[in-house]
């Protein structure tokens, strides 16, 4: 009852794009339940093509739950109601090919999770499973994606070395290359720099800036400076709801909602 009340009275500001902005993804009336418990609601958000959007908010505010819903990664653990629109099509309905959804909407996790295989095999794994055997084609994908992920120069001479022997920063960029190998449109990243040192973090951010020319990027981060440096738009989540969505500059200089201001200025709680 208390939660219902809060839903109705919570002040929020959600940025609306113009009709001529090209929209890649959006959610409408999204509700995510773990068992009977409503973990996420009130997040009617729209993501513009070739932008980086940061999802920020305190621990447990629903950022990862929201992110994982976008490519149906929550299917096994949660009940997800509402619309998840990708290129205008609701992908949260029966009959949708979930594997195809995850191909187009790729995900990179918090901890680098390379397979216990060579760098080359990590990148080509999904392609080989889809029956692509042409060595020239596979070589090309390995080179292109490792270049896109800005790790080619460091690994080009050791492509057949185990990916488990890479540094955290290199492994995370190989995981990005692996996600890119199936040619997604959207890249979801759940705190991808949290296990990286400051130098690798800066390199990763540079990589993401380059990638946004070709991809739409949505990133969960706990690091406020990272959100401010990297993203074009920022969403502030609290208690499982999107409270404020605006241009990043505005969120960090002139937030419209008091709760956002308290959070970004460190006076939260
Ligand atoms: N698999 C799960 N089963 C049950 N409850 C879950 C599950 N995953 C998340 N939750 C709950 O849903 C709520 C939102 O969690 P979520 O992980 O989305 O928050 P978050 O903002 O990403 O947090 P963090 O910043 O700590 O990663 C929390 O109350 C959490 O305990």
Q: Beta strands of 110-240 (E only): which ranges?
A: 186-190, 216-220, 233-238
**Rg for the chain (alpha carbons), in Å?**
19
Instruction: Report how far residue 39's alpha carbon sits from residue 179's, in angstroms, rounded to the nearest whole number.
Output: 27
Q: Which domains does the chain have, with CATH numbers?
A: 2-264 (3.40.50.300)
Q: What is the mean pLDDT of residues 100-114?
A: 93
ipTM exceeds 0.90, yes or no: yes
Q: What is the mean pLDDT of residues 211-232?
A: 95
**Res 260: pLDDT:** 97
201's tokens: 């973090």
136's tokens: 């020239």
pLDDT surpassing 80 at residue 9: no
Q: Over the chain, what is the mean pLDDT? A: 93
pLDDT surpassing 80 at residue 54: yes
Closest C-alpha to 209, from 179, 236, 181, 176 = 176
**Alpha carbon of 127 to those of 64, 81, 103, 155, 172: distances in Å?**
27, 32, 11, 20, 19
Q: What is the mean pLDDT of residues 196-223?
A: 92
pLDDT-derived band at 7, boundaries 50, 70, 90 = low
Ligand 1 atom at minimum distance from 32 CA: 12
Ligand 1 centroid–CA 126 distance in Å is 29
Ligand 1 centroid–CA 214 distance in Å is 30
Q: What is the mean pLDDT of residues 119-148?
A: 95
Q: Whose CA is nearest to atom 30 of ligand 1?
A: 60
């Amino acid at each position: 009852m208390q939660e219902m009340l809060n839903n109705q009275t919570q002040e929020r500001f959600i940025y609306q794009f113009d009709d001529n902005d090209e929209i890649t993804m959006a959610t409408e009336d999204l509700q995510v339940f773990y068992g009977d418990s409503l973990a996420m609601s009130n997040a009617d958000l729209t993501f513009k093509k070739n932008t980086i959007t940061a999802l920020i908010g305190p621990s447990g505010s629903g950022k990862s739950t929201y992110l994982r819903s976008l490519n149906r990664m929550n299917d096994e653990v949660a009940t997800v109601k509402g619309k998840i629109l990708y290129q205008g099509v609701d992908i949260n309905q029966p009959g949708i090919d979930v594997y195809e959804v995850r191909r187009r909407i790729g995900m990179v996790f918090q901890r680098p999770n390379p397979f216990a295989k060579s760098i080359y095999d990590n990148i080509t794994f999904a392609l080989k499973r889809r029956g692509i055997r042409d060595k020239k084609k596979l070589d090309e994908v390995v080179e292109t994606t490792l270049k896109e992920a800005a790790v080619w120069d460091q690994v080009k001479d050791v492509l057949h070395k185990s990916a488990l022997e890479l540094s955290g920063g290199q492994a995370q960029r190989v995981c990005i290359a692996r996600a890119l190998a199936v040619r997604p449109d959207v890249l979801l990243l759940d705190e991808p720099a949290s296990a990286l040192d400051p130098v690798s973090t800066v390199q990763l951010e540079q990589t993401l800036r380059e990638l946004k020319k070709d991809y739409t990027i949505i990133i969960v981060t706990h690091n406020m400076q990272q959100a401010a440096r990297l993203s074009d738009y920022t969403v502030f989540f609290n208690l499982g709801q999107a409270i404020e969505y605006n241009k990043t500059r505005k969120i960090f200089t002139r937030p419209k909602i008091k709760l956002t201001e308290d959070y970004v200025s460190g006076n939260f709680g």
